[in-house]
Amino acid sequence: MKVFGADWCPPCRKMEPVVDAFIKERKGTVRLVKMDGGVENQLMKQHHVEGLPTFIVYKNGKETARRQGAMTAEEL
């Protein structure tokens, strides 16, 4: 899963403990790649990310799901 966020983004900061718990519960089955949307502008364009936070899920190298904005642990 790729997560585009930024330190200055309130919804991104709100999602940090939710994402950490999600990854911990699925240890070994989900890999997290965090991208700093405040720095990685080119990667944001390349992945068509228009807002923060954005979560992109991949399976076998192909995008299978995408969600933008803060959400609950259940929604994630």
Catalytic entry in 12, 19, 44, 49: 12
9, 15, 19, 49: the active-site residue: 9
**Residue 15 annotated among the catalytic residues of the structure:** no
The one-letter amino acid at 41: N
Q: What are phi and psi of 32, to 5 degrees?
A: -105, 130
Phi and psi angles of residue 10, each rounded to the nearest 5 degrees, phi first: -55, -45
Q: Strand pairing partners for 54?
A: 4, 68
Does 4 qualify as catalytic in the annotation? Answer: no
**Residues with a known catalytic role:** 9, 12
